[in-house]
Copies of this chain bind each other. A is one copy, B any other.
Amino acid sequence: MITGKNYIGNKLSANGSKTYKTFNPKLNLENEWTFYEATEEELNEATKLASEAFESYRNFTAERKAGFLRVIADEIEALGDLLIETYCMESGLPEGRAKGERGRTVGQLRTFAGTLEDGSWVEASIDTALPDRAPVPKPDIRKMLFPMGPVAVFGSSNFPLAYSTAGGDTASALAAGCPVIVKSHPMHAGTGELVASAILKAVKKADMPNGVFSNLNSSGIEVGQQLVKHPVMKAVGFTGSIGGGTALYKLANERTEPIPVFAEMGSINPVVVLPSALEEKGNYWSEQYAGSIMLGAGQFCTNPGLILGLKSEALDTFISSLGKEIAKLEPSCMLHPNIYGNYEKGKQTAAAQAGTSPITSFETEPQPYFAQQLVLTTEGKNFLENPKLHQEVFGPFSIVVECEDALELITILDHLEGQLTGTILGSEQEVGEHANIVAALGSRVGRIIFNGVPTGVEVCPSMVHGGPFPASTDSRFSAVGPYAIKRWVRPVAFQSWPQDFLPDALKDENPLQILRLVNGVYTNAAI
């Protein structure tokens, strides 16, 4: 049941007077539930509980934390159709997407449980003593990763489940041993509350400390700002806009004790189309890219917003084919009137820039809040000279840039900001022939794709979902995959520490049987 209240640890709380509602963009009406924005007192109580919970939770065994994550996954599934219906009512997204995203969310939780059970993620490293070394003896030194403390998680608008309340940031932080306080996304506060209720059931069932998780409602920016500034909080995870992420990043850096912020802030995901891709599979790629641009109403941070090709007849054919393919696809509903409004504004701004022209035209207007797709073309020179065309338009939008030659294409890549992904379409031979293009693209992205679409982010150890600023605030980390846990942990070294009081991961006998670096050699063996 959706109460509209905050979860301050295990307790439902609604002390504030500021309320808001969520919106069903597909039906063009407000949802019935009323949400109570968290007060500063409620926030302070949540941070106090998180700080207390950390004292025990940080020391729980991997098995115990893994069990907790698995129960959360089970409890989310146990929410059944109510969760799917609420998700759809608050996002306008179709049921299939809701179910797919739920699958990914519980999958992520179970992946982190597996990471904990495997145990090697703590990067245990042991250098045993050399008491006879001259001129000074070498002491025994051992290190491993430990949780940093309570983490503030800002859910995204476009992933109400997989990157929100119990999404990747929360799952990785809880796995690391960090309590989590979620600043609930106002567009899907009901979905958020349901998931929070599942987590709180799991807290009870798995006998976790009160305060290991809290969920704060908020429709404005104050609650989030208070949370990031609160001295108890030790790190921040954010998925959203460049403006929002950068503001929190600055706030965190201005604290007396600055804390790390991992903000994933989207990108335009440049795609380079090399000649053979068009000659051999031009129609295939135009169909694939029409689908990728339109997927989820273009509301993915990996949406291909920039396609770079070399001027040629083949490119003209591709553009015309892309236009036909994308015109075949039906517009779909955006997440919220505000997002729709921003899309329309961004689209119009882009279309109004000199030297651009749309590759499709539409005679009918779509339903309210349904996003009419737009693909523009422009010349390389024009694109280079106009930074307004480099900005992300969140929605089913893309620009095909016709470059004079490879040099102009490289110059464009060199002038792009950091990106989540970059894609090369072409033959293997061309990857070799255009090494400079590949290098220019690779230096700007977190993930580089050959002959594929950037949408679709695999959850696996080798995934990098992040990239140079402004794709993320720290390109050294990833928001997706088990290594996302590294954002919330820091190494601590133990020098000459008594065996009995070392963490199990560092004991001579290696009771956890994890992979460790022992005197420079990776081994699962005991010492």
Interface residues in chain A, defined as those with a beta carbon under 8 Å from any beta carbon in chain B: 55, 118, 120, 125-127, 136, 138-139, 141-143, 146, 148, 249-250, 253, 257-260, 417-418, 428, 431-432, 438-439, 442, 445-452, 456, 458, 460-464, 466, 468-470, 473-476, 478, 483, 486, 489-498, 500-501, 515, 517, 520, 522
Judging by beta carbons under 8 Å apart, are A448 and B522 in contact?
Answer: no
Judging by beta carbons under 8 Å apart, are A451 and B496 in contact?
Answer: yes
Known: A118-B520, A257-B469. 19 other contacts (CB 8 A): A125-B462, A127-B462, A143-B462, A143-B464, A148-B475, A249-B253, A253-B253, A260-B476, A428-B498, A428-B501, A446-B492, A446-B493, A447-B492, A447-B494, A449-B496, A450-B496, A464-B492, A476-B486, A478-B491
Tell me the number of copies of this protein: 2
**A128 nearest in chain B by CB position:** B462
Q: Specify which of B141, B432, B452, B491 is in contact with A496 (CB 8 Å cutoff).
A: B452
Judging by beta carbons under 8 Å apart, are B473 and A490 in contact?
Answer: no
Judging by beta carbons under 8 Å apart, are B501 and A458 in contact?
Answer: no
Q: Which residue, A447, A449, A495, has most C-beta atoms of chain B within 10 A?
A: A495
Judging by beta carbons under 8 Å apart, are B498 and A257 in contact?
Answer: no
A448 to B491, CA, bound (A): 11
Q: Specify which of B476, B492, B497 is in contact with A489 (CB 8 Å cutoff).
A: B476
A515 touching B522 in the complex, CB below 8 Å, given contacts A141-B458, A250-B253, A493-B463: yes
Q: Specify which of B418, B448, B449, B495 is in contact with A450 (CB 8 Å cutoff).
A: B495
**A123 nearest in chain B by CB position:** B483
Judging by beta carbons under 8 Å apart, are A450 and B498 in contact?
Answer: yes
Query: Can you list 22 contacts pairing A with B, beta carbon distance less than 8 Å?
Result: A126-B462, A127-B461, A138-B458, A141-B460, A143-B462, A257-B468, A257-B469, A258-B473, A260-B474, A428-B501, A431-B500, A432-B500, A432-B501, A446-B490, A446-B493, A449-B497, A450-B496, A452-B495, A461-B520, A476-B490, A483-B491, A522-B522
| Residues from chain B with Cβ under 8 Å of A462 in the complex | 125-127, 141-143, 493, 517
Judging by beta carbons under 8 Å apart, are A492 and B141 in contact?
Answer: no
CB distance from A269 to the nearest CB of B (A): 12
A500 touching B445 in the complex, CB below 8 Å, given contacts A260-B476, A452-B139: no
Q: Specify which of B126, B417, B476, B500 is in contact with A428 (CB 8 Å cutoff).
A: B500
CB distance from A418 to the nearest CB of B (A): 7
CB distance from A293 to the nearest CB of B (A): 18
Judging by beta carbons under 8 Å apart, are B497 and A448 in contact?
Answer: yes
**A442 nearest in chain B by CB position:** B492
A190 to B486, CA, bound (A): 41
**A142 nearest in chain B by CB position:** B462
| Residues from chain B with Cβ under 8 Å of A486 in the complex | 476
Q: Specify which of B258, B463, B483, B501 is in contact with A438 (CB 8 Å cutoff).
A: B501
CB distance from A444 to the nearest CB of B (A): 10
